[in-house]
Each structure stands twice: as C-alpha cells, then as structure tokens.
Amino acid sequence: MATSRSQGLSRRLIILWTTLVIVFLYAPMVAVVLASFSKQRYFKFPIQSWTDKWYQKAFSSLSVRELLWTSLSVAALVTIISVVLAFLGALAFARYDWKGRKLYQRLILLPIFFPQAVLGLAMLLWFSAIGVTTSWQTAVFAHLVWITPIVILIMSIQVYSFDPALEEAAYDLGATRWQVLTEITLPILSPGIISGAIFAFLLSWGNFPLSLFTTGADQTIPEWLYAKMVSGYTPMVPTLGSLTLSSAAVFLLTAYIIWLAISARRRRMENR
C-alpha cells in the first residue's frame, strides 16, 4: 500500500500549501486593519498603543463623505447599466446560435485583456476629442467598458447550463414573450445575474486605473488612497482603506445571506 500512503501525503501537502496561499492572500488586508488602529502618526510594528481616533476623524470629515458618495454613485450606476447590457450580451454569447457568434465572443472579451491604465488614457483622449468634460459620470462610462465584458463572461457560465427547451415548452403552452422572460428565463438565470451584479459593483468600487484618468475634478476613494500613498504615510490611508475593505465585506456577506434565503425559498417551492 505504498502508493496510497504517498497519495495521502501529497494530499496533505496540497491542503497545507493551499492554506498557506490563502493566508498569504489575506495577510496584507489584516496589516491594513491593524495599522488603522495604531496611535502613532508613523507606522511602527509591534504597535505600542491603540486608538480609534482616526476613525472618528474619518467619520466626521466632510471630504471623506464626498469621496464615499462619489465612489458609491459610480459603482451603483455601473452595476445597473452593466447588468442590463451584459444580460442580453450573455444570451448572445451562450444561448443563441447565430452567424457571427464566434467572432462576437472574441471581440466582446477584448477589453478584459486590455491594460486598464492605457484604456483609461485612451478614454481621456476620447472625451477631450468629443468635447466632454470629465467628471464622475465619464468614469461610469469608462468603468462600463471594462466591467460589461467581465459581467458577460460571468453570466455566460450560467447561460450555458440553461436548457432552451424550457422556454420552448412555455411558448407551446401559450405563454407570451414577456411571461417567458419574467417567469422562466430571469428566475433560472438569477444566480448568474446576482453574481454578475456583485462583481460589477465591487470591481467598480475598487477600481483605480480607469478612475485615475476619467474622473476629472471628482475623486473616488481608491484615487484618494493612491494620491496619499505616494506622497508619504498618513494614518488616514489605512483607516479609509479598512473602511472600504469592511464595506466590501459587509456587501458580500449581505449578498450571501440573500442568496441563502433565495435558494431556501426555491427549495421549499420545489418540495411543494
């Protein structure tokens, strides 16, 4: 039984390695949160004295509120528009068979492979050429160019497993186009739509390279963080960093709970 013992060993090694890599992925985020509670103006480890004064400062600051509002508006608009565009786009990607589909599949994914900083600069040239002043609204446009293809890709994975016969059966039973969409297609594809929306929101919320060149006088949180980071250390960087980090975590957790509730309800409906 030498082989099974060596298999057990390699299995344990793989589990150990995976755990280490996951720790590696989260270590810097823990570091940011730790630093935000340090009392000193300059970060020094081990941390000598703890404080929450940076958070009090952040919550009472008007400019922080403005940053938050800008980031939130951009992310919310990007989510709504990209989900609509990508829902149709994913149907064309994976559901329907049509002449030109293979070409469409490749072209639509190109923005994902594109260097974001270059894309941001190209958009800046584009806006100045057509005479649009950049602001947070133009950043929404720029985010959409990069995020819509990603959401199409995520939704397509779900659409591929969708059985078109269900739609046809509904039509045969006399359902209208609208009924088929709202009672068959959308509910079945909802997991894909929800994960697409989560990605859209958080990718926009955290985006830096596109925002940097397209927000004009407005500023999102990642832009502010970068500007402060390169100009030296201030305790507000880890503080605002932790705040964005934890809001993303809360957002994900809420989405997960809603997800559990939906699937529990669906299971109850199926059991009836």
Partner 1 sequence: MAKPSQSDKISWLKQPGVLAALPASLFLIIGFAGPLLLVVGYSFMPSKTFSLLQAPTFENYTSIISDSYYISFFWSLAMALTTVVLLFIICYPIAYGMARLFNRWANLVTALIAIPILISENIRLFGWVLILLKNGIFDGSMQSLFDMSISGLLFTVPAIILGLVYVYLPFTLFPLVIGISMVPEALKEAASDLGATRWQIFREIELPLSMPGLMIGGILTFVLVLGSLAEAKILGGQAIVMIADDIESSFTFAQNWPKGSALSVLLIALSGTIVFFLFKRVDLDRVIGRR
The residue from 22, 166, 169, 261 that contacts partner 1 (CB under 8 A) is 22
- CB nearer to partner 1: pick between 15 and 264: 15
User: What residues numbered 37-56 form the site for partner 1, per CB under 8 A?
Assistant: 43-46
Is residue 74 at the binding interface for partner 1, with CB under 8 A as the rule? no
- Contact code string over 95-134 relative to partner 1, x by CB under 8 A: xxxxxxx--xxxxxxxxxxxxxxxx-xxxxxx--x-----
Among 79, 156, 185, 215, the residue binding partner 1 under the rule CB under 8 A is 156
46 CB burial (10 A radius; 0-12, 13-18, 19+): exposed
**Residue (169 or 253) nearer to partner 1, CB:** 253
Q: Which is nearer to partner 1, 98 or 178 (CB)?
A: 98
Distance, in Å, from the CA atom of 109 to the CA atom of 100, rounded to the nearest integer, reads: 15
Binding residues for partner 1 restricted to 200-229, rule: CB under 8 A: 202-203, 205-209, 221-222, 225-226, 229
What residue type is assigned to position 89 of the chain? Answer: G
What is the smallest separation between the CB atom of 137 and partner 1, expressed in angstroms? Answer: 13
Which residue, 57 or 101, is less far from partner 1 as judged by CB?
101
Which member of 85, 175, 188, 194 binds partner 1 (CB under 8 A)?
85
Q: Across the chain, which distance is largest between two alpha carbons, in Å?
A: 74
Is 72 one of the binding residues for partner 1 (CB under 8 A)?
Answer: no
**Selection from 194, 212, 209, 213 nearest residue 252 by Cα:** 194
Nearest distance from residue 53's CB to partner 1, in Å? Answer: 19
CA 210, 215, 220, 224 dihedral sign is positive
Encoded tokens for 8: 């057990």
| Residue in 1, 4, 5, 27 binding partner 1, rule: CB under 8 A | 27
Among 153, 170, 180, 184, binds partner 1 (CB under 8 A): 153
- Residue 242: count other Cβ atoms within 10 Å of its Cβ: 20
- Contact call for residue 165 and partner 1 (CB under 8 A): no
Residues 215 and 140: beta-carbon distance below 8 Å: no
Q: Which residues of 160-191 are buried (b: 16+ CB within 10 A; e: fewer)?
A: eebeeeebeebeeeebeeeebeeebbeebbeb
